[in-house]
Amino acid sequence: RILFVIICASLVAHAVQSASIFSSTDCFDPIGPTVNGACPPNYGPIGNLCCASCPAGSALIGPTVNAACPAGSDPVGSVCCLSATCPVTISNGPCNADDTCPTAGYACDMANQYCCPVVDYENPANVIGPAIGGLCPIGYVMVMIPGGSPEGDCVSLNSVPGVCAEAVQDRPCPAGVGCRSGFNCFTLAEVCCPA
């Protein structure tokens, strides 16, 4: 049991440091091929397979171990998904009815039902400056950083845990659409990553 806790703590620490333990091409608990590119709930396409996935707005940490997940993540079927928690002062509003968030870079705090930033706003290298009229350039999202600009600051979507490396990204996919063949939309960052 102690070894499991140490391993789980190590996984979370590694996820925070590297922003990804598993790549967007790792398939956990495959149930079969996609049907016209679609999969049932709690499964998403990885290549041509339907694989266990996290709800929109949550990043995959990895498979469960004996149905358990490391701190900072919750079990969803056979995988562990990033948990989102934050003070209400930096949330950007309520979650959608399906526990997703309308803005890239935000995930639903399931307990409180409001959207929390999952971008790494604490690392100054990810912040390019204040939002202008609440808007940020493509590839960035506005976050109300404690002690930051009163209108919010623009934080890189490349700091979302689990997003593919910037060098292999194809193009933005606003609202989850617009990826060409061979790429899937990583909806939490609204960017096309290799399938």
Domain segments of the chain as ranges: 1-83, 84-159, 163-195
pLDDT at 73: 77
Whether the per-residue pLDDT at 17 is higher than 50: the answer is: no
% of the chain with per-residue pLDDT over 70 = 84
Query: Which residue, among 114, 119, 108, has the nearest Cα to 91 in the 3D structure?
Result: 114
| % pLDDT > 90, the chain | 41
85 pLDDT more than 60: yes
Q: What is the pTM of this model?
A: 0.67
pLDDT at residue 136 in the model: 96
Q: Alpha-carbon distance 78 to 53, whole Å?
A: 9
Give the residue-averaged pLDDT of 13-20.
34
- Judged against a pLDDT cut of 60, whether residue 80 lies above it is answered with yes
- Asked if residue 118 has pLDDT above 60, the reply is yes
Return the residue matching tokens 């999969």: 39
Would you say 50 and 71 are in contact if contact means Cβ atoms under 8 Å apart?
Answer: no
Q: Is the pLDDT of residue 129 over 90?
A: yes
Q: What pLDDT, in 10s, does the model give residues 20-51?
A: 334 556 788 889 998 988 888 778 888 889 98
Highest mean pLDDT of the ranges 96-105, 147-156, 160-169: 147-156
pLDDT grade for 57, boundaries at 50, 70 and 90: low
pLDDT at 25: 60
CB within 8 A of 22, min separation 6: which ones?
A: 60, 61, 62, 162
Closest C-alpha among 112, 72, 77, 81 to residue 94: 112
